[in-house]
Amino acid sequence: MPNPSNMDDSARLFAELKDLATEQRNPASMQIDALDTEGILRVINGEDQRVAEAVSGEIPHIARAVDLIVDAFGAGGRLIYVGAGTSGRLGILDASECPPTFGTPPEQVQGLIAGGREAVFRSQEGAEDRKEDGQRDLDGIQVRPVDVVCGIAASRRTPYVVGAVEYARSIGCPTLFITCTPRESFNIPVDVAMCPVVGPEVIMGSTRMKSGTAQKLVLNMLTTASMVRIGKVYENMMVDLQMTSKKLVERSKRTVMMVTGLSYEEASSVLAQTNGHVKTALVMILGNVSKAQAAGYLEAADGFVRPAIASALAGA
């Protein structure tokens, strides 16, 4: 076996890749090129069913990550995803969906991708190899110790991501990492590593498949659980959504109707009084208080609807 210290960069990369879990061949798909269309799809679907189980095993680690994110949000910090290729796009997707879903400011959850904005739409594969760009891009958004930085890399080794996480850690940021390599081979110092090992891809090395699905599930869990924890959900409904489209306007009305029993016209009228703020509308109706009182109860409850309603009913 060659000594890694004596290898040039290409040989070192080759040696790394051949041992990665994400670069192995999958025995279940060895004959996929000889199958008909339905057979191909059944192989893919069979492998996809392994993903949720792999993520399930990481829930204790995901929970620790959520706690760090919630603490950061409470201190005015941000969640910053850093990835390359598919992983970077998934981070940007998750970040971009938070404002319309949960009414968060766009800067609270952000995604960075190797190669910048252009890489979201067209592959910029060489960009992931520049480790120093990870620090540069974090500096570009003025990362602070109060921010949580989450690296996303199926293989764990992506230089851009590693560089960003190392820099974030060096300035005192809590750091997370989502990877599909086994925990025992994860050697990057971070506060929490989430390692859903999904096994070899159906097409060797195509980490946009099972690995990408696992990453998407974890990202959904991180932001959704964090938003529940900071009061963005009442029961199981989005109550801090922004009425920025006709669909979201109607969803807001329907939410008020479902929770309170009001008619469509009544819900529309109350939302008009609250400038479309669903939380205030719910506390007004269920607590039988004015708009100003509802706003006060919500502020006292840190934006959580359930305790605000209870306080209104108790006259606290």
Shared domain check, 203 and 129: yes
Q: pLDDT digits over 130-153, tens only?
A: 899 999 999 999 999 999 999 999
Shared domain check, 202 and 97: yes
Query: Which of the listed residues 164, 194, 229 is the one where a domain comes to its end?
Result: 229
| Res. 21: pLDDT tops 80 | no
Do the bridges between strand 237-238 and strand 233-234 make them parallel or antiparallel, or are there none, so unpaired? antiparallel
Shared domain check, 260 and 162: no
CATH number at residue 297: 1.10.8.1080
* Alpha-carbon gap, residue 35 to 40, rounded angstroms: 6
The residues annotated with a catalytic role in the active site are 97, 128
Shared domain check, 220 and 98: yes
> pTM to 2 decimals?
0.89
Which pLDDT belongs to residue 16? 63
Mean pLDDT of 76-104: 95
Shared domain check, 182 and 308: no
Element (H, E) at 63: helix 59-74
> Can you say whether the dihedral through the CA atoms of 53, 222, 188, 212 is positive or negative?
positive
Read off the amino acid at residue 172: G
What domain range is 142 assigned to?
Answer: 51-229
Q: pLDDT digits over 242-288, tens only?
A: 777 899 899 999 999 999 999 999 999 999 999 999 999 999 999 99
Shared domain check, 175 and 79: yes
Contacts of 217 (CB under 8 A, 6+ apart): 51, 52, 55, 196
Shared domain check, 171 and 123: yes
